[in-house]
Amino acid sequence: MMRTMTIRVLAAALSVAAAGCSSKPSQPAAPAYTPTEAEVEAEKAGTLSALAPANLNKARPTPPFDLTSNWFIDVSQDPKAWHFFLEPYPKLTPAAQKEYDASVKYDKEGKVYKDDIGQCWPAGMPLIMTRYWPMAMVQKPTAIYMISGFMNSVRIIYLDGRKHTDPDVIVRTYNGESIGTWEGNELVVDTVGFRGDHHWMDQDGAAIPAGEKLHIVERFRMVNDGKQLEIAFTMTDPDNWEGEWKSTKRFNRVVDTDIQEVSCLPDLNAHIKSTTSKTQVFQ
């Protein structure tokens, strides 16, 4: 009798324990977020921040992938992949051809033509994506924040349904203004609003300017079971080349390195003497 009771108690205890292991602990349903008065006002004005709780808590479809990771340009198939594009180049406009020809000429002479990045100007899009430094990407429901290991250049892709800023209001930048939309298993990113000075599509004997009319469409997708990110670029800039310029790049997921603080400090080039040497041609 005693033994039977003991077995029953043990069985009941095991049953409770098993139930606890096999089912997920019940989570209380997240309470619906009530926007603050300030958020309601910002929503009406069309200025609700991508990081405002009212924006982050909006119901949205689950995206097909999460870019959150460190990524590094894959040069295993193409040693020059860190240069943005390779030949054949599109047909350049006369103004862009003049710059390109000058860079080829000086490169043959062992000189460096208008290396603005070396003078601490931002690499800008699209070159910032392929610098030989890892890039950290953090994905939220409303935006993707990218910080390059190269000069900590910041790029933000908004996913919250906003439109591009009025061209009369936009502050032009080297990385531009990026708006992303999910299409099937891909993220399609449209970027405009560039600065057109000291901004280049490539360097080292391939100086092709990037102008204010530069328009970049990127299609992001995950490949190799998420070990690689692929971005297919389509770019137009009627002031500098004809038609569409296309290229596809792959990036490796990096799990053993984080980006660090990197700045082009005033004393940097004083000691990186090649940047001020006679090999430099600035105009």
Partner 1 sequence: MRKVLWSVVMAAALVAPAFAHHSPAAFDRTKKVTLVGTVKEFRWQNPHTWIEVEVPDEKNKSKLVVWGVELTSPTYLVRAGWKSNIIKPGDKVTVVVNPVRSGEPSGIFVSLTLPDGRELFERPARLGTPDSK
SS3 label, residue 7 = helix
Q: Closest separation between CB of residue 226 and partner 1, Å?
A: 12
- Report whether 207 contacts 84 (CB < 8 A): no
Minimum CB separation from partner 1 for residue 75, in Å? 5
Residue 20 or 79: which CB sits closer to partner 1?
Answer: 79
Q: For the CB of residue 115, give the shortest distance to partner 1 in the complex, in Å.
A: 4
**Residue 169 or residue 255: which is nearer to partner 1 going by CB?**
255
Nearer to partner 1, 25 or 79 (CB): 79
Minimum CB distance to partner 1 smaller for 248 or for 274: 274
Binding site for partner 1 (CB under 8 A): 71-72, 74-82, 107, 110-112, 115, 117-118, 123, 131-134, 149-151, 203-205, 251-254, 256-257, 260-264, 268, 271-275, 277-280
* Length of the chain as a residue count: 283
Give 41-82 as a DSSP string: HHHHHT---TTSHHHHTS--PPPS----EEEEE--SS-TTTT
Provide the minimum distance between the beta carbon of 169 and partner 1 in the complex, in angstroms, as a whole number: 33
- The pair of structure tokens assigned to 102 is 């000058």
Contact 160, 143 (CB under 8 A): yes
**Amino acid (1-letter code) at residue 169:** V
Best CA proximity match to 179, nearest among 190, 168, 169, 166: 190
CB of 111 to partner 1, least distance (A): 8
Residue 270: CB partners within 8 Å, gap ≥ 6? 276
Q: Which is nearer to partner 1, 101 or 183 (CB)?
A: 101
